Amino acid sequence: METSQSRASEVAPYLEDIKDTLENPLKIANYEYDESIKYYYKYFKEASRYLLVIVKYLNNHGFIITAYFVRNIK
């Protein structure tokens, strides 16, 4: 079973990249089924991919749902 501590250690190397994507996105896209969800994209040359950070907004506060690398922007 995965613990939140083991998951946090997997994400730790990318925290600055996630922050940079949220502060300086290449593109922000809406999720067509839920207007409170936004997709933030930023290209990272060293990974040759886009980092996608998915954020849900509730009561004017954003919460990161997930973040992962993708080859293309949708």
**Residue pLDDT, tens place only, 12-71:** 788 999 999 999 999 999 999 999 999 999 999 988 999 999 999 999 999 999 999 999
Q: How many domains does the chain have?
A: 1
- What letter does residue 12 receive in the DSSP assignment? G
Which distant-in-sequence residues (6+ apart) come within 8 Å of 39 by Cβ?
27, 28, 29, 30, 31, 52, 53, 54, 74
Token look-up 């749902």 returns 65
Q: How confident is the model at residue 9, as a pLDDT?
A: 58
Q: 8 lies in which domain range?
A: 4-70
